[in-house]
């Protein structure tokens, strides 16, 4: 209504530029148990995605597992602050993540987990998955 009067009487509208409004989602703080379950699920997805448990021979399992462990290391790098309850554990976890970026150390972990998979190959895949994830997390100094 006001705009019509301004146009009729020849007054110009003043344009007011407002800054864009950003609506941010509220941050929901997760407890450490939820974060550990999410990381556990991510590790399981990576292992299943690479098909680590689909082969019964160590020849085929080892390269798949090594690729998976490199991806798992990057997931652990992203979630390291949430996984470590205190500063000392965080420091230790950061060191282990840096160590597992080296090919030699990834090979060592891959060999250990691959031996576990081959020894337990007759076990149901879901149980084998839990055993492998438990072993991987123990290499990072985390217990699940």
Domain containing 110 equals 31-139
- Smallest Cα–Cα separation from 106: which of 50, 43, 44, 63? 63
With beta carbons less than 8 A apart as the criterion, state whether 113 and 137 touch: no
Three-class HEC string of 53-67? HHCCCHHHHHHHHHH
Tens digit of pLDDT for each residue in 36-94?
Answer: 888 888 988 888 888 777 765 556 778 888 888 899 999 888 888 888 778 888 889 88
Q: How confident is the model at residue 2, as a pLDDT?
A: 54
Residue 118 in domain = yes
- Whether residue 12 lies inside any domain: the answer is no
Domain-embedded: residue 144: no
| Inside any domain, residue 15 | no
Quote the pTM value: 0.70
Report yes or no on 22 lying in a domain: no
Distance from C-alpha of 104 to C-alpha of 92, rounded to nearest angstrom: 19
Q: State the total domains in the chain.
A: 1
Residue 130 lies in a domain: yes
Q: Is residue 19 part of a domain?
A: no
Residue 23 lies in a domain: no
Over residues 12-37, the pLDDT tens digits come to 555 566 677 778 777 666 777 788 88
Task: Kindly tell me the number of DSSP H helices and DSSP E strands found in the chain.
Answer: 7, 0
Please answer whether residues 40 and 133 qualify as being in contact, where contact means their C-beta atoms are separated by less than 8 angstroms.
yes
């Amino acid at each position: 209504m006001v705009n019509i009067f301004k146009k009729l009487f020849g007054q110009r509208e003043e344009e007011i530029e407002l800054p864009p409004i950003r609506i941010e989602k509220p941050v929901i703080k997760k407890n450490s148990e939820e974060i550990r379950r999410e990381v556990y699920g991510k590790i399981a997805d990576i292992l299943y995605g690479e098909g680590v448990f689909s082969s019964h021979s160590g020849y085929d399992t080892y390269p798949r597992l090594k690729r998976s462990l490199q991806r798992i290391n990057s997931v652990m790098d992203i979630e390291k602050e949430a996984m470590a309850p205190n500063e000392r554990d965080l420091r230790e976890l950061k060191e282990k993540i840096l160590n597992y970026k080296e090919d030699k150390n990834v090979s060592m972990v891959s060999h250990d987990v691959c031996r576990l998979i081959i020894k337990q190959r007759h076990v149901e895949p879901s149980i084998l998955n839990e055993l492998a994830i438990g072993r991987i997390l123990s290499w990072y100094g985390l217990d699940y």
